[in-house]
């Protein structure tokens, strides 16, 4: 309560103090519903002071998250919380230099997320010296200077992109992906561009002011007119570059608002597409926005356009698998898709370093937020059935429109299913595999977690069906699937399909179902049928897994109520339920 009293705008925490069970207080994390271990105060609009002294009294506090709030000022003195294992401060307005000893003594700290703040100065030495650091995300700040040598070598997550770091990347980090360092213009060495050789001394006749910057190429040997030649070359380059830039801007301005209307061909030069009659790029730039999340692909914003609609703007940083023209054509194709269960791609904007995709806003939030939030009771069996039927129809439409493409969706999961006011589902973030950087797709897109892909790296037409299966199991059990975890690796054995399999293998019972639908009268037979469909979609072996047509057809056959002569106990037999998910 003392911690709360130093916060501003703390209305989200209004049940603190009212509930007798501490573990029911909003944002308190408890193990087994009993033992307090963390604070997760995300997306709550909180500001004010983080009273570290008050937190210090919570001797069990090991995880602290205030992601996506409005905290400002220097980083609080978290080193007083020596038991902390995870610290999440991303998407706030923290700023200034972090003292070199800010993380001293935090020997248990494993996860540090400081992304998208205003931190400046060097990466603190004490951070680099943490013995157990496993995940580090500091992207989108103003960190400067060289990257220090880190004590810990085997990072699970490392993102230092979009800062002002410079110099050579330390040897121990050279096996990391380029995306971990992108957007730091002066960084060099593997996996970025090679560093220049700094050892060539300046020519004695070149004045001090022209001494080469260590990150510029070394000087050629020159004679008396050396300086003059350099000046002339520089002037010529500047003039040439200006002409090119002017031409580019002119061209770009003229064509930036190409409509993204179904059936209409794109101008291959245009870097933006907007649907006619909606809003323009200028409207979007003027809109106020809030951050909804900062994930593996970039940040997601909700933008409120003045006198216009609310839209979702998603910024992708690793979308360079194809050139500009191909990218635009692909976006035009996605923009031309129309189906009641696909969330329309309203617009896109192309920049070399990042891309912006604009989707309609799903006013009722995502399926994930309903399933795993407080209102899962709204999701009755009949609503869940409606949702899965809509998902199946949207997916079928994608398969039909992208025949021959191995992953027509590629990222099907509950946070990418948004719901309208009547709980009609709409799929989002579909069709992006062809434009996404291969390594990033492999690491983060959920279709790549299908067993054949995570083991052999080969997606096929049934990999999206695996995701559909996992989504069905999530919908029925209310459990969050471990293999959706953003940075989860090799989580196959612990995935939801394996868990469901282990429960129903012993005995066919409705125990696996989410409490909110358990005991639905006259519906459990149909629920078990859907469970069975989910399991066939999650068959470990691709050969035995259903293809999308079969899965969609079986889902369409489902009814809200069991028919009198179709008792689930006679419907499901041991024989027709022989899965191999644990093989």
Given the rule CB under 6 A, which residues bind ligand ATP?
292-293, 295-297, 300, 312, 343, 359, 361-362, 365-366, 368-369, 415-416, 418, 428-429
- Tell me whether the omega of the peptide bond preceding residue 191 falls within 30 degrees of 0, making it cis: yes
Give the nearest distance from C-beta 323 to ligand ATP in angstroms.
24
Which of 369/406 has CB closer to ligand ATP? 369
Find the shortest distance in angstroms from Cβ 500 to ligand ATP: 22
Query: Binding residue per annotation — 314?
Result: yes
Closest to ligand ATP by CB, 360 or 562? 360
Among 278, 285, 315, 282, residue whose Cα is nearest residue 303: 285
Rg (CA), the chain: 27
In DSSP notation, 50-80 reads --HHHHHT-TT--EEE--SS--EESPP-GGG
Give dist(CA 66, CA 59) in Å, integer. 19
Q: What is the largest CA-CA distance in the chain?
A: 101
Question: In the bound complex, which residue of the shown chain has the CB atom lying closest to ligand ATP?
Answer: 295
Q: What does the alpha-carbon distance between residue 132 and residue 340 come to, in Å, rounded to a whole number?
A: 48
CB of 433 to ligand ATP, least distance (A): 13
Q: DSSP strand E in 81-216: where?
A: 86-88, 93-97, 111-113, 118-122, 135-137, 142-145, 157-159, 164-168, 186-188
Least distance from ligand ATP to the Cβ atom of residue 368, Å:
6
Residues facing 47 on adjacent strands: 8
Q: Between 429 and 562, name the residue whose CB sits nearer to ligand ATP.
A: 429
Instruction: Quote the DSSP letter at residue 89.
Output: -
Helix, coil or strand: residue 48: strand
- Checking 427-430 for CB contacts under 8 A at 24+ apart, the result is 427/341, 427/342, 427/343, 427/391, 427/394, 427/395, 427/398, 428/312, 428/343, 428/359, 428/362, 429/314, 430/334, 430/342, 430/394, 430/398
For the bound state, the minimum distance from the C-beta of residue 245 to ligand ATP, rounded and expressed in Å, comes to 33
Nearer to ligand ATP among residue 124 and residue 298 (C-beta)? 298
By C-beta, is 312 or 465 nearer to ligand ATP? Answer: 312
Q: Give the residue with the Cβ less far from ligand ATP, 258 or 416.
A: 416
Helix (H) or strand (E) holding 312: strand 310-316
Nearer to ligand ATP, 188 or 432 (CB): 432
Whole-number minimum distance, CB 156 to ligand ATP, in Å?
A: 16
Spatial contact of 67 and 116, defined as CB atoms under 8 Å apart: no
| Strands across the sheet containing 157-159 | 28-31, 35-40, 63-65, 86-88, 111-113, 135-137, 157-159
State the minimum distance, in angstroms, from the CB of residue 418 to ligand ATP.
4
Q: How far is the CB of 416 from ligand ATP (least distance, A)?
A: 5
- DSSP-derived secondary structure letter, 523: T
Closest to ligand ATP by CB, 332 or 428? 428
The annotated binding site is made up of 314
Q: List the binding residues for ATP.
A: 314
């Amino acid at each position: 309560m003392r911690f709360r009293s130093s916060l501003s705008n703390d209305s989200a925490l209004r049940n603190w103090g009212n509930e007798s069970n501490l573990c029911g207080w909003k944002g308190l994390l408890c193990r087994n519903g009993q033992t307090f271990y963390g604070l997760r105060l995300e997306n709550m609009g909180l500001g004010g002071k983080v009273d570290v002294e008050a937190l210090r009294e919570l001797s069990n506090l090991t995880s602290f998250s205030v992601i996506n709030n409005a905290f400002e000022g220097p980083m609080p003195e978290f080193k007083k919380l020596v038991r902390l294992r995870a610290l999440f401060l991303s998407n706030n307005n923290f700023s200034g230099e972090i003292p070199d000893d800010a993380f001293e003594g935090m020997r248990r700290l494993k996860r540090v997320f400081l992304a998208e703040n205003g931190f400046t100065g060097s990466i603190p030495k004490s951070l680099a010296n943490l013995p157990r650091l496993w995940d580090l995300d500091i992207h989108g700040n103003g960190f400067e200077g060289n990257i220090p040598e880190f004590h810990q070598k085997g990072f699970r997550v490392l993102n230092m992109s979009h800062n002002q770091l410079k110099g050579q990347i330390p040897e121990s980090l050279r096996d990391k992906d380029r995306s971990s360092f992108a957007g730091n213009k002066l960084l060099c060495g593997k996996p970025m561009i090679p560093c220049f050789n700094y050892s060539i001394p300046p020519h004695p006749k070149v004045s001090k002011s022209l001494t080469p910057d260590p990150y510029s190429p070394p000087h050629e040997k020159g004679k008396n007119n050396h300086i003059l030649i350099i000046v002339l070359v520089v002037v010529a380059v500047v003039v040439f570059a200006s002409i090119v830039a002017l031409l580019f801007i002119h061209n770009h301005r003229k064509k930036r608002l190409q409509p993204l209307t179904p059936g209409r061909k794109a101008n291959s030069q245009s870097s933006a597409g907007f649907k006619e009659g909606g809003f323009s790029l200028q409207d979007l730039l003027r809109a106020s926005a809030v951050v909804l999340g900062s994930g593996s692909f970039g940040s997601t914003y909700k933008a409120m356009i003045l006198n216009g609609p609310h839209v979702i703007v998603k910024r992708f940083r690793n979308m360079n698998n194809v050139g500009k023209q191909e990218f635009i054509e692909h976006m035009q194709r996605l923009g031309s898709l129309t189906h009641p269960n696909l969330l329309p791609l309203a617009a896109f904007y192309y920049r070399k370093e990042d891309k912006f995709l604009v989707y309609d806003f799903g006013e009722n939030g995502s399926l994930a937020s309903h399933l795993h939030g407080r209102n899962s009771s709204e999701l009755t069996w009949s609503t869940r059935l409606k949702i899965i039927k809509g998902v199946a129809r949207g997916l079928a439409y994608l398969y039909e429109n992208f025949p021959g493409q191995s992953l027509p969706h590629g990222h099907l999961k509950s946070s990418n299913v948004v719901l309208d006011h009547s709980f009609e589902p709409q799929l989002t973030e579909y069709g992006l595999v062809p434009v996404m950087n291969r390594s990033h797709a492999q690491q983060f897109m959920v279709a790549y977690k299908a067993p054949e892909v995570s083991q052999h790296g080969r997606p096929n037409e049934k990999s999206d069906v695996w995701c559909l299966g996992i989504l069905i199991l999530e919908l029925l059990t209310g459990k969050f699937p471990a293999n959706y975890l953003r940075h989860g690796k090799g989580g196959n054995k612990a995935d939801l399909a394996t868990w469901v399999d282990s429960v129903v293998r012993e005995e066919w019972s409705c125990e696996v179902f989410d409490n909110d639908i358990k005991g639905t009268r006259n519906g459990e037979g149909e629920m078990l049928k859907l469970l069975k469909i989910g399991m066939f979609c999650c068959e470990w072996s691709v050969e035995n897994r259903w293809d999308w047509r079969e899965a969609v057809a079986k889902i369409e056959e489902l009814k809200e109520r069991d028919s009198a002569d179709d008792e689930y106990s006679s419907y499901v037999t041991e024989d027709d339920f022989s899965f191999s998910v644990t093989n």
